[in-house]
Amino acid sequence: MADAFTYKAAAHKFACGNDFTDLTVVNFEGPDGAKASAYSCNMNIDLDGEPHAYAPLGKPKLRPKDNLGNAGWKSEAQNNVLKGQYEAGKLALADLEKKREQLLAAKGASSTAKPGPVPAPAAAKTALHPAAKPPVDPAVAALDKQIAAKKKNLHAMSFENIDANGNYSAKNPKNFGKIFWKWYGVTALTPDQAKALSYLELEAPTLTVRKPVLDTSSIYEDVFGRFPVVQSVFEPGTDYFVTPLPRAANTHYPSWDQRYFLPHDSDAQTAFGALAVPLGNQTGLRLNDTVFAVRLDTADTLSFPFRDTGFGYKVAECSFAAYGGLGGDYRPEKNGAAKFPNDFLLLYLAFPGKQTPRSVLAKFATASNASDFPVLLSFIAQATVDAKTKKSHKVTGDPIKAFEAWQKSPGAAKPQYFDVIADSLRTAGSDFIDRMMRAHAAASPGPYLRPPTLP
């Protein structure tokens, strides 16, 4: 008998943006080492790498898909608020340190006193029988904890001793103590960095050497003294800002050119997802692995790779092209999130190990319990459908318990979107249902899994 597929929930719950929390990710393992992971939610749209994502302010002919605040920028008024919070934090830190000094003084101790040298015989005795450490005063310990937390917060706010890549620096940023934000959604350089770079433009009709063009308007300078790079006439988003991805797609171009992040010979970004580090750790997924998405209300499907990196326990951060590829509606006349009505739900099935959906599903089709696979996927979707129906952000349903209860109840109804999901396994570039029927011809999986008859 063929091996059965097994399943287990990931150890941690996940979220989709601010729309859903407590999502269950289920890891599957099938015959011949086949692996997949599934989760269900809507789509959190990520515009990184999109040529028309960000543009300078005050240019009405440009229609950016996102606002600069989502790329890190702060207005002067917003920066002043942060500066005020920083100055208040410094005063609060000084107050905490003063309280600590006063407390130690009241106890007859000195915060700066150091023990004198220990005579040799006593030192030897201490080495053999170390004296017990004096008890730590709870009030001092509490203040030490508050002081450490406040210092950490102030360091983060001001980027103290941190470089533009987030690494420790021997000196503070150029605008330390004056500017309290940095660019992260657009490619940004200092003027000196831009001067040192050049590129021979192969698309130009005559010999043309280009350098990065920066928008050096003072409002765009970040804490590191960087300004956004503007796309040239040779790039798909001329006059828009360059917006990067963590990995190159086309190294024929320099990293400050938008085409560096686009597929070869393409003027548009393609569909991709962002893989959060914790999701990769709990599923074995890596960059360039494939995810297959099924839109539950329309049955639209799309396969695309993970090309971006995310952080936190997040899932379903996808590119604008993925959103559009699944029928997402773009409304440029609207502001903010209303541009992208992303309230439709999907089932995501991801495949680690650079495997294609077709090859993995072909192996799952041979499992002795293959007919249960689309059912469990349907219960994963159902948990999120139920939360949305209740207008709840928290997904409280347990899809594995619901599935196992269904197994124990012969004749029980299948989840609402079972038919959509079962049919989608055909469109994943595989013949899952047909293979399963051939592998288990003697079994009776029920009419809901039989392939359609030809006319």
14-16 and 44-46 beta bridge pairing: unpaired
3-state secondary structure the chain: CCCCCEEEECCCCEEECCCEEEECCEEEECHHHCEEEEEEECCEEECCCCCCCCCCCCCCCCCCCCCHHHHCCCCHHHHHHHHHHHHHHHHHHHHHHHHHHHHHHHCCCCCCCCCCCCCHHHHHHHHHCCCCCCCCCHHHHHHHHHHHHHHHHHHHHHCCCECCCCCECCCCCCCCCCCCCCCCCCCEECHHHHHCCCEECCCCCCCCEECCEECCCHHHCCCCCCEEEECCCCCCCCCCECCCCCCCCCCCCCCCCHHHHCCCCCCCCCCCEEEEHHHHHHHCCCCCCEEEEEECCCCCEEEEEEEEEECCCECCEEEHHHHHHCCCCCCCCCCHHHHCCCCCCEEEEEECCCCCHHHHHHHHCCCCCHHHHHHHHHHHHHHHHHHHHCCCCECCCCHHHHHHHHHCCCCCCCCCCHHHHHHHHHHCCCCHHHHHHHHCCCCCCCHHHCCCCCC
Structure confidence at residue 450 (pLDDT): 46
84 and 151 fall within a common domain: yes
Residue 427 lies in a domain: yes
* Together in a domain, 345 and 319: yes
As for how many domains the chain has, the answer is 3
133: left (phi > 0), else alpha (psi -120 to 50), else beta? beta
Q: Are residues 216 and 114 in the same domain?
A: no
State residue 281's pLDDT score: 96
82 and 29 housed in the same domain: no
Judge if 242 and 370 occupy the same domain: no
Question: How distant is the alpha carbon of residue 296 from its chain centre?
Answer: 23
Same domain? For 199 and 58 the reply is: yes
With b for 16 or more beta-carbon neighbours within 10 A and e for fewer, the 259-274 pattern comes to bbbbeeeeeebbbbbb
Domain of 290, in residue numbers: 6-46+270-449
What pTM does this model have? Answer: 0.78
- Give me the pLDDT at residue 447, please: 45
pLDDT in tens, 23-39: 999 999 999 999 999 99
Read off the CATH number of the domain in which 442 is found: 2.40.40.10
- The answer to whether residue 381 is domain-embedded is yes
- Considering the domain architecture, whether residues 274 and 395 belong to the same structural domain is answered as yes
Q: Are residues 27 and 114 in the same domain?
A: no
Over the stretch 386-399, which tens digit does the pLDDT of each residue have? Answer: 999 999 999 999 99
The answer to the question of residue 265 being in a domain is: no
Q: Is 433 in the same domain as 314? A: yes
* Residues in the chain, pLDDT under 70: 1-2, 109-134, 333-338, 429-455
- Determine if residue 109 is left, alpha or beta; phi over 0 gives left, psi from -120 to 50 gives alpha, anything else beta: beta
